[in-house]
Amino acid sequence: MIGLAKAGARKARIEARRSPGARAGALASTVAVALGLLAGCGGGSGGAPAPVVDPSCDGPAFASTWQGIQETVLARNGCTEKLCHGGANAGGLDLSPANAYANLFDVPSAESPSTKRVLPGDKDRSWLWMKLAAKTRPGTVSIVGSPMPANLPAISERELELLRQWIYAGAPETGTVPGTEDLLGGCLPPVEPISIKPLDAPAPGEGVQFVLPPIEVPPSTEQEYCFATYYDVSDQVPPSMLDPSGRLFRYSEQELRQDPLSHHLVLLDSGLPVEKIHDPAFGAWTCAGGGRAGETCEPTDLSSCGAEGFCRSEPQVKVGCVGFGPRGSGYAIITRQMGGAQATNAFQRLHPGVFAQIPTRGIAYWNTHAFNLSDQAHELNGRINFRFATDQRFPLQSFFDPSHVFAANAAPFTTQTVCAKYVMPRGSRLFGLTSHNHKRGKRFWAKLPDGTQIFENTVYNDPNKARFEPPLEFDSPDPAERSIEYCGLYNNGVGEDGSPDPETVTRASRMPSSDRLQIMNGCKPVACAAGRVGAACSGLGDDRACDSSPGANDGWCDACAITGGESTENEMFILIGQSFVDERFPQPPDDQPAYGGLASVP
């Protein structure tokens, strides 16, 4: 998600803003039509008293991102007037100030009742965003009816990004969504933590829900945590949804929703027998949430923390839960992903006939890459739903390739392209593909052996998820013909004009406390970030080598090569996909786990 350094640069961006009034006016002329889902709304004005914000900000002030959209976009363009989307309810959509949010947030679209107008955290299932994207990015989304805005030019990529960021953060009615201040061309209050609407559980007999025991995220921090819980859903699973051994349940859909305080949330199968649950390596087991929070609990007694609490082990700082637990989980733990996603909200429906299967009871590990851009501690909550598979023909074959996870190591003020290959098993049918990298990864793509590009992503914190219908076939006996080449472009501080950019280069001073977990021996400054920007230097304290002139005392030796690690200041390079084996080839055992992995198909 958005790195901590971005919050620190907020005031600087405000002071450097160019022509805020003109930019706000440009948004008003286009996004208003988008939000109203109608063309032809014009004239009129409206607004509410501006809140008190940073006095250094010279643009219009708003109490929240949503109020900025409503006051700047809807009211200024007359879409709250009675003859438009005010009292007249044109198109069945009332966008008057008192009703606009309630009529957009988590409300089914009249045009497509199975889709919400705005689904918190998920732009790809938000009718508002899809209708607008269909015109701004023709051919990228499938919709019913005409793209919007009708009879007007498409909204710009910048304006579409405003809506994406708001939706991604849970489409909150209050609070500031990081990054939207500049997009609105206005001023917003300081960032505060945002809580998202919890995900409803599946109906009995249709699926099960796993609830993340709440974890407090300290202010201005970024950290990857791992902790254990015991679960038992065996009494919720119909016999027809079990594997032949009766130990595993089968699902074909998963959905995750978490507060926008985490880069990813993953539920892992520990692989441990329940008898290991009191191993000292887990630390103390205590209640999280509810009226007994902090009390000691018995993990195998699911009632020991009351109806609202959850018994969990002591949270530990671990990347991917590697090294966590009694016998020290090696890298194999990251291949046992029962479910999860790298988004605020993610939904996945497997290819017809394909099913994942995971244990009905056991010790699970929760892994979250938590961050908090605000100066207030906040509780992170999350839920994962698994819906049972009624069509059970092919066990899922998911993959998460960490072979080159820390390959990116671009020197300061340079770019680097890293490539690797993943060989698909013979007989594979690939139906989903996505990627994982951090903020210096500017482009990620994948190609077939014949050079055909099958995947591309340019947004690290909301990665594209490609679905292949029909699935791609990999039947050749030659591994070279079953190889997917995937590449990533990393930019370590090169500006748009090619000059060194000290604001985007990897900086030792901006590393979070988790710097000790970096794989590449930490961020060691080798270039100047102030004074003679880009010149060579020799580590922390060598600032005088960076002075613009002898005795200037304006130098700073602070720029590092890209290092591998879990924070967004570090980098990763991972290909993620989902497939199954065609019936003409040997099938995997049907009584062994077939992990669902991260949601990687839309």
The pLDDT of residue 507: 96
Residues of 265-277 as b/e, b for ≥16 C-beta within 10 angstroms? bbbbbbbbeeebb
Answer yes or no: is 594 within a domain: no
Q: Are residues 338 and 484 located together in one domain of the fold? A: no
Q: Are residues 177 and 265 located together in one domain of the fold? A: no
The pLDDT of residue 60: 82
Tens-place pLDDT, residues 212-230: 999 999 998 888 899 999 9
Cα radius of gyration (the chain):
25
Q: Round to whole Å and give the CA distance between 33 and 442.
A: 31
Answer yes or no: is 551 within a domain: no
Lowest-confidence pick of 26-35, 137-146, 232-241, 302-311: 26-35
Q: Are residues 115 and 176 located together in one domain of the fold? A: yes
357-368: average pLDDT: 97
Q: Which residues contact 98 (CB under 8 A, 6 or more apart)?
A: none
Answer yes or no: is 587 within a domain: no
Percent of the chain with pLDDT over 70: 85
The pLDDT of residue 299: 97
Nearest to 159 by CA among 61, 69, 40, 41: 69
Nearest to 194 by CA among 267, 255, 257, 108: 257
The pLDDT of residue 98: 80
Q: Round to whole Å and give the CA distance between 278 and 270.
A: 14
pLDDT at 482 over 50: yes
Q: Are residues 388 and 399 located together in one domain of the fold? A: no
Q: Which residue has the tokens 């089968």?
A: 250
The pLDDT of residue 514: 55
The pLDDT of residue 78: 43
The pLDDT of residue 138: 92
Tens-place pLDDT, residues 25-52: 333 333 333 333 333 333 333 344 445 5
Q: Where are the alpha helices (DSSP H) in 9-124?
A: 10-15, 20-36, 65-69, 100-104
Counting beta carbons within 10 angstroms of the beta carbon of residue 235, is it exposed (0 to 12), middle (13 to 18) or buried (19 or more)?
Answer: exposed
Answer yes or no: is 451 within a domain: yes
Contact predicate 26/184, CB 8 Å: no
Of 393, 427, 444, at which residue does a domain stop? 393
Torsion, Cα of 488, 490, 495, 500 (10° steps): -150
Answer yes or no: is 143 within a domain: yes
Element (H, E) at 306: none
Tens-place pLDDT, residues 74-102: 555 344 455 444 554 555 677 677 888 89
Answer yes or no: is 12 within a domain: yes
Number of separate domains in the chain: 3
Nearest to 400 by CA among 342, 469, 474: 342
The pLDDT of residue 37: 33
Whole domain around residue 504: which residue ranges?
395-524+560-582
Q: Which residue has the tokens 């990081």?
A: 178
Q: Are residues 170 and 144 located together in one domain of the fold? A: yes
pLDDT band, residue 161 (cuts 50/70/90) = confident
Q: Round to whole Å and give the CA distance between 16 and 280.
A: 53
Using the Cα atoms of residue 55, residue 58, residue 62 and residue 65 in order, give the sign of their dihedral: negative
248-258 vs 345-349, strand pairing mode: antiparallel
Kindly report the CATH number assigned to the domain that includes residue 215.
Answer: 2.60.120
Of 325, 360, 393, at which residue does a domain stop? 393
Tens-place pLDDT, residues 262-318: 889 999 999 999 999 999 999 999 999 999 999 999 999 999 999 999 999 999 988
Of 184, 217, 242, at which residue does a domain stop? 184
Residue 542 has a CB neighbour count (10 Å cut-off) of 17
Instruction: Read off the pTM.
Output: 0.84
State CA 456 to chain mean position distance.
16
Q: Are residues 280 and 245 located together in one domain of the fold? A: yes
Q: Most distant CA pair in the chain: distance in Å?
A: 79
Q: Are residues 43 and 53 located together in one domain of the fold? A: yes
pLDDT band, residue 598 (cuts 50/70/90) = confident
Q: Which residues contact 76 (CB under 8 A, 6 or more apart)?
A: 28, 32, 44, 45, 46, 47
Q: Are residues 133 and 231 located together in one domain of the fold? A: no
Q: Are residues 292 and 331 located together in one domain of the fold? A: yes
Answer yes or no: is 59 within a domain: yes
Computed over every residue of the chain, the mean pLDDT equals 85
441-467: average pLDDT: 94
Percent of the chain with pLDDT over 90: 60
The pLDDT of residue 153: 78
Higher-pLDDT residue of 484, 110 = 484
Contact predicate 257/343, CB 8 Å: no
Nearest to 226 by CA among 303, 305, 337: 337
Q: Are residues 303 and 275 located together in one domain of the fold? A: yes
Tens-place pLDDT, residues 400-412: 998 999 999 999 9
Answer yes or no: is 440 within a domain: yes
State CA 360 to chain mean position distance.
27
463-490: average pLDDT: 96
Classified as helix, coil or strand, 590 is: coil
163-179: average pLDDT: 90
Q: Are residues 368 and 412 located together in one domain of the fold? A: no
Q: Are residues 155 and 29 located together in one domain of the fold? A: yes
Q: Round to whole Å and give the CA distance between 563 and 577.
A: 25
